Amino acid sequence: MRSPTDRGLTAGILLVVIGLLLLGANWFQATGAVALGALAAAFLVAYAGSRRYGLLIPGMILGGLAIGVGLQEAGYDGTDGGFVVLGLAAGFIGIYVVDAMVRGPAAWWPLIPGGILGVVGAIQVAEGTAAAAQIARLWPVALIAAGVVLLVVSAQRARRTTGPG
């Protein structure tokens, strides 16, 4: 376990770095995507050095937002923020992926907001296209697939706990 001094040191360094990044963004007129990306990098570097889950969360969320805002600023997002929402979804899903790669079995909670934001962003991006009509008709298939997955996992767990036979 880390001492309170280590936590204070990490927090202090992180605040100084974030302050410097924001000050630089003000002086050099950095875009929103650059500022968000710099903040994300600060948190992710701190996470890499400490392996503290609490630093991974804002790092990935800000990183996802930086990607979405960057796409919007570059003119790729004509959907009033659909790519920003998808970027935020990617940030949440990224929390799960990185945690699974680093620690093994990961907490699954980031998949819930990531999935919801992913669906909302996909709807915003697809709005007004031919694909939107198909999505509107076929989205219950996702519920069916999720139910089948839960049934299979439940059956496997039941088989493991009762044993063969």
CB 89 within 8 A of CB 101: no
Number of C-alpha atoms within 13 angstroms, CB side, residue 33?
A: 13
Write the burial class of residue 18 (CB in 10 Å: 0-12 exposed, 13-18 middle, 19+ buried). middle
- R_g over Cα of the chain: 20
CB 135 within 8 A of CB 123: yes
Cα-based distances in Å from 31 to 60, 69, 134:
19, 9, 36
Helices (H), 28-139: 32-50, 53-73, 82-103, 111-126, 130-138
C-alpha dihedral sign at 21, 22, 23, 26 = positive
> Model-level pTM?
0.70
pLDDT for res 67? 93
Per residue of the chain (165 residues), give pLDDT as tens.
Answer: 456 567 777 778 778 877 877 777 677 766 788 888 888 988 898 898 888 888 999 999 999 999 999 988 888 867 678 899 999 999 999 999 999 999 888 788 999 999 999 988 888 888 877 877 787 788 788 889 888 988 988 888 888 877 665
Q: Would you state the torsion angle of the CA atoms of residues 99, 104, 107, 113, taken in this order, to the nearest 10 degrees?
A: 50
